[in-house]
Amino acid sequence: MHAGFAQFAAFDQDAIDNREFLAKGKLTMPVLAVGGEKSFGPTMAVVMRFAATDVQEGVIPNAGHWLMEEQPRATVQMVRAFLDSKK
């Protein structure tokens, strides 16, 4: 539990690190932002657009937070399609 809660204690440092990162400019490489339909959904892409200029949105149907456990085939298919399109 200690390790699980430590991520919340790191939020202040995360904000500092994120500001420093963004001051250097956004990522220009293609980024696939994937969320589960019943969890973050398209919000993953909205958030990633703050840090990257080339963001492709992906939403895995019938999935919540744990994409690979809930919908492994759909998740792998989406990642494969993204990677194959960048060849």
Rounded Cα gap, residues 71 and 74, in angstroms: 6
Is residue 66 one of the residues assigned to a domain? yes
Task: Please tell me the pTM assigned to this model.
Answer: 0.82
**Per-residue model confidence (pLDDT) at position 3:** 86
Is residue 20 one of the residues assigned to a domain? no
What 3-state class would DSSP assign to 74? helix
Share of the chain above pLDDT 90, in %: 89
Reported as a pLDDT band with limits 50, 70 and 90, residue 35 is very high
* pLDDT at residue 43 is higher than 80: yes
Is residue 70 one of the residues assigned to a domain? yes
> With b meaning 16 or more CB within 10 Å and e meaning fewer, what string describes 30-40?
ebbbbbbbebb
Average pLDDT over residues 30-51: 96
Is residue 9 one of the residues assigned to a domain? no
Q: How many domains does the chain have?
A: 1
Residue range(s) defining the domain that contains residue 78: 26-85
Is residue 59 one of the residues assigned to a domain? yes
